[in-house]
Structure 1
Amino acid sequence: MRILSAVVVAVLFTAPALAQMPHINMLPEDKYKTDDEREQDKANQKAYKDSLSKIPDAKGSSDPWGAVRSDAPKAAAHPAKPKTKTGSAAKAGQ
Protein backbone atom coordinates (compact mmCIF):
# COMPACT_ATOMS: atom_id res chain seq x y z
CA MET A 1 0.00 0.00 0.00
CA ARG A 2 2.90 2.37 0.75
CA ILE A 3 4.41 1.73 -2.66
CA LEU A 4 1.12 2.42 -4.40
CA SER A 5 0.65 5.70 -2.51
CA ALA A 6 4.25 6.73 -3.31
CA VAL A 7 3.63 6.08 -7.01
CA VAL A 8 0.40 8.10 -6.93
CA VAL A 9 2.16 11.01 -5.22
CA ALA A 10 4.99 10.90 -7.76
CA VAL A 11 2.49 10.94 -10.65
CA LEU A 12 0.62 13.86 -9.12
CA PHE A 13 3.83 15.85 -8.76
CA THR A 14 4.95 15.23 -12.36
CA ALA A 15 1.60 16.06 -13.99
CA PRO A 16 1.88 19.86 -13.48
CA ALA A 17 5.50 19.81 -14.68
CA LEU A 18 4.51 18.04 -17.89
CA ALA A 19 1.78 20.59 -18.50
CA GLN A 20 4.36 23.40 -18.49
CA MET A 21 6.67 21.87 -21.09
CA PRO A 22 6.46 23.45 -24.55
CA HIS A 23 5.16 21.29 -27.34
CA ILE A 24 7.98 21.59 -29.86
CA ASN A 25 8.25 19.24 -32.79
CA MET A 26 11.93 18.27 -32.74
CA LEU A 27 11.68 16.29 -36.00
CA PRO A 28 10.13 18.43 -38.68
CA GLU A 29 8.29 16.43 -41.29
CA ASP A 30 9.66 18.27 -44.35
CA LYS A 31 13.34 18.77 -43.55
CA TYR A 32 14.55 17.92 -47.07
CA LYS A 33 13.89 20.26 -49.98
CA THR A 34 13.58 19.23 -53.59
CA ASP A 35 15.72 20.73 -56.33
CA ASP A 36 12.82 22.89 -57.49
CA GLU A 37 12.34 24.27 -53.98
CA ARG A 38 16.04 25.09 -53.71
CA GLU A 39 15.96 26.90 -57.07
CA GLN A 40 12.86 28.82 -55.97
CA ASP A 41 14.62 29.83 -52.73
CA LYS A 42 17.65 31.07 -54.69
CA ALA A 43 15.40 33.07 -57.02
CA ASN A 44 13.57 34.59 -54.04
CA GLN A 45 16.86 35.55 -52.36
CA LYS A 46 18.17 37.13 -55.57
CA ALA A 47 14.94 39.11 -56.04
CA TYR A 48 15.13 40.27 -52.41
CA LYS A 49 18.73 41.47 -52.77
CA ASP A 50 17.89 43.23 -56.04
CA SER A 51 14.96 45.01 -54.42
CA LEU A 52 17.21 46.16 -51.55
CA SER A 53 19.70 47.64 -54.00
CA LYS A 54 16.91 49.73 -55.60
CA ILE A 55 16.16 51.59 -52.37
CA PRO A 56 17.71 55.09 -52.57
CA ASP A 57 20.08 56.28 -49.87
CA ALA A 58 18.76 58.88 -47.45
CA LYS A 59 20.41 62.19 -48.34
CA GLY A 60 18.75 64.75 -46.12
CA SER A 61 18.30 65.05 -42.42
CA SER A 62 15.36 63.24 -40.92
CA ASP A 63 14.86 65.92 -38.27
CA PRO A 64 11.15 66.85 -38.32
CA TRP A 65 11.73 69.99 -36.20
CA GLY A 66 14.65 71.25 -38.28
CA ALA A 67 12.63 73.99 -39.98
CA VAL A 68 11.15 75.17 -36.67
CA ARG A 69 14.40 75.62 -34.76
CA SER A 70 16.71 78.57 -35.31
CA ASP A 71 20.16 78.01 -36.77
CA ALA A 72 22.13 78.03 -33.53
CA PRO A 73 21.73 79.49 -30.07
CA LYS A 74 23.18 82.97 -29.88
CA ALA A 75 26.30 83.35 -27.78
CA ALA A 76 26.43 86.04 -25.10
CA ALA A 77 27.51 89.39 -26.62
CA HIS A 78 29.71 90.28 -23.66
CA PRO A 79 30.71 88.35 -20.56
CA ALA A 80 28.68 88.90 -17.43
CA LYS A 81 30.14 91.23 -14.80
CA PRO A 82 31.45 89.55 -11.64
CA LYS A 83 29.24 90.01 -8.59
CA THR A 84 30.29 90.84 -5.06
CA LYS A 85 29.21 88.97 -1.94
CA THR A 86 26.16 91.20 -1.54
CA GLY A 87 25.00 90.40 -5.08
CA SER A 88 25.56 93.81 -6.65
CA ALA A 89 27.74 94.20 -9.71
CA ALA A 90 31.39 95.08 -9.04
CA LYS A 91 32.63 98.49 -10.18
CA ALA A 92 35.50 98.79 -12.61
CA GLY A 93 37.87 100.57 -10.20
CA GLN A 94 37.62 98.10 -7.31
Structure 2
Amino acid sequence: MKLFRMAAVLAVLAGPAYAQEAPHINLLQDGPGKSEDEKAADAERDKAYKETLKKIPDAKTSNDPWGGMRSDPPKQPAPKASAASTTKKTKTGAAAN
Protein backbone atom coordinates (compact mmCIF):
# COMPACT_ATOMS: atom_id res chain seq x y z
CA MET A 1 0.00 0.00 0.00
CA LYS A 2 2.87 2.38 0.82
CA LEU A 3 4.40 1.64 -2.57
CA PHE A 4 1.13 2.58 -4.29
CA ARG A 5 0.99 5.89 -2.37
CA MET A 6 4.59 6.71 -3.26
CA ALA A 7 3.90 5.99 -6.94
CA ALA A 8 0.82 8.25 -6.85
CA VAL A 9 2.80 11.10 -5.24
CA LEU A 10 5.57 10.78 -7.84
CA ALA A 11 3.02 10.76 -10.66
CA VAL A 12 1.36 13.92 -9.32
CA LEU A 13 4.70 15.67 -8.92
CA ALA A 14 5.98 14.58 -12.33
CA GLY A 15 2.88 15.83 -14.17
CA PRO A 16 3.79 19.54 -14.23
CA ALA A 17 7.40 18.77 -15.21
CA TYR A 18 6.22 16.63 -18.11
CA ALA A 19 3.85 19.39 -19.28
CA GLN A 20 6.77 21.81 -19.58
CA GLU A 21 8.55 19.47 -21.98
CA ALA A 22 5.57 19.14 -24.35
CA PRO A 23 6.16 20.56 -27.83
CA HIS A 24 4.63 23.96 -28.49
CA ILE A 25 2.01 23.67 -31.20
CA ASN A 26 0.28 26.72 -32.68
CA LEU A 27 -3.28 25.65 -33.40
CA LEU A 28 -4.27 29.01 -34.90
CA GLN A 29 -2.90 29.50 -38.36
CA ASP A 30 -1.82 32.97 -39.39
CA GLY A 31 -4.50 34.53 -41.54
CA PRO A 32 -3.96 36.58 -44.66
CA GLY A 33 -2.47 40.03 -44.12
CA LYS A 34 -4.44 43.25 -44.39
CA SER A 35 -4.61 45.16 -47.62
CA GLU A 36 -3.38 48.74 -47.93
CA ASP A 37 -6.96 50.02 -47.82
CA GLU A 38 -7.65 48.13 -44.58
CA LYS A 39 -4.42 49.43 -43.04
CA ALA A 40 -5.33 53.01 -44.01
CA ALA A 41 -8.83 52.60 -42.55
CA ASP A 42 -7.36 51.25 -39.29
CA ALA A 43 -4.91 54.16 -39.09
CA GLU A 44 -7.74 56.67 -39.69
CA ARG A 45 -9.90 54.99 -37.05
CA ASP A 46 -7.04 55.06 -34.51
CA LYS A 47 -6.37 58.73 -35.23
CA ALA A 48 -10.05 59.64 -34.74
CA TYR A 49 -10.13 57.64 -31.50
CA LYS A 50 -7.09 59.42 -30.08
CA GLU A 51 -8.52 62.83 -31.02
CA THR A 52 -11.78 61.94 -29.30
CA LEU A 53 -9.91 60.94 -26.14
CA LYS A 54 -8.19 64.35 -26.07
CA LYS A 55 -11.60 66.07 -26.01
CA ILE A 56 -12.70 64.34 -22.79
CA PRO A 57 -12.07 66.62 -19.79
CA ASP A 58 -10.10 65.32 -16.84
CA ALA A 59 -12.30 64.23 -13.96
CA LYS A 60 -11.66 65.86 -10.60
CA THR A 61 -10.67 63.29 -8.04
CA SER A 62 -12.25 63.23 -4.63
CA ASN A 63 -10.10 63.48 -1.52
CA ASP A 64 -12.54 61.35 0.46
CA PRO A 65 -11.34 57.72 0.47
CA TRP A 66 -14.50 56.53 2.27
CA GLY A 67 -16.88 58.53 0.05
CA GLY A 68 -18.33 55.45 -1.61
CA MET A 69 -19.09 53.83 1.74
CA ARG A 70 -21.41 56.59 3.02
CA SER A 71 -25.10 56.62 2.21
CA ASP A 72 -25.50 60.36 2.91
CA PRO A 73 -23.32 63.16 1.50
CA PRO A 74 -20.49 64.43 3.73
CA LYS A 75 -21.42 67.31 6.01
CA GLN A 76 -19.94 70.73 5.41
CA PRO A 77 -17.83 72.14 8.25
CA ALA A 78 -19.49 74.85 10.37
CA PRO A 79 -18.43 78.41 9.47
CA LYS A 80 -15.95 79.93 11.89
CA ALA A 81 -17.34 82.65 14.15
CA SER A 82 -15.63 86.03 14.04
CA ALA A 83 -13.98 87.48 17.16
CA ALA A 84 -16.48 90.36 17.31
CA SER A 85 -19.52 88.11 17.54
CA THR A 86 -18.21 86.04 20.45
CA THR A 87 -18.79 87.48 23.91
CA LYS A 88 -17.20 86.51 27.16
CA LYS A 89 -19.58 84.74 29.47
CA THR A 90 -19.43 85.24 33.23
CA LYS A 91 -20.46 82.83 35.91
CA THR A 92 -23.85 83.37 37.40
CA GLY A 93 -24.61 83.00 41.09
CA ALA A 94 -21.15 84.08 42.17
CA ALA A 95 -20.60 87.22 44.15
CA ALA A 96 -18.55 89.77 42.28
CA ASN A 97 -16.32 91.99 44.42
TM-score bucket (shorter structure): 0.3 to 0.5
